[in-house]
Structure 1
């Protein structure tokens, strides 16, 4: 029987191996580029602020101001989405998520199969 510390050690080893996968490395590289882009950072801050404001406008029933705010949010989102690095980031994120989900499903299937064999 395995002890908790052995399982945690193996989990850490697996985590380290996952970090070395090309898909994960690529995602991390693109994510770093996103965070270093000052335009994206400014637009994201503005977007978050406007989203909060928009929620408040909606809650207070200020429909026309809410509509204007939502239009401004859509414009900022379009600017962000138009950047090639953002498209690249989303694709890399999707690839990394798909890979990790496949790994989780494989482990779950193997655990379930092992459990049924007992």
Structure 2
């Protein structure tokens, strides 16, 4: 019997199982820990609050065309953002995020490459043209 919706499809069930298993990999666990540390950091929250406050001041200064104040606020915002970005837990979080994204992109590419060996599926790059049958359009099937 065929599934009634795509979410009922057996391959979706396998994908969910695979996603659950991914949670046990070091890259994902490192990301979750770094995310938790960032979320619990008072220093991070204080800097984010200060950035938001300065951004509101910046919008107000821009609206009222207070150019000198605007320049000073931009410098202060740059410094606050730099302070945030230079926190070790923020750098760890950002690196862990990059690592997890690379893992997920690699998994996606492996799936796309494996499927495209069996059937023609666009995976990026040059777009194929023609019907693939060698008919009136002049293309040749591969």
Shorter-chain TM-score bucket reads: 0.7 to 0.9
Q: Does 1:62 align with 2:66?
A: yes
Aligned to 2:38: 34
1:1-118 maps to which residues of 2 (within 5 A)?
3=3, 4=6, 5=8, 6-58=10-62, 60-116=64-120
- Partners of 1:60 and 1:27 lie apart in 2 by 42
- Structure with larger RCO (C-alpha < 8 A, sep 6+): 1
| The structure with more helix, counted as a fraction of residues | 1
TM-score calculated relative to the size of structure 2: 0.71
Residue ranges of structure 1 left out of the alignment (5+ in a row): none
- Partners of 1:66 and 1:53 lie apart in 2 by 8
Report the RMSD for the aligned CA atoms in angstroms: 2.2
Structure of larger gyration radius: 2
Change over 3 Å in CA distance of 1:75–1:107 after alignment to 2? same
Q: Deviations over 1:11-69 (max 9, x none)?
A: 21121011111101111101101111011012112213323442453355432222111
TM-score calculated relative to the size of structure 1: 0.83
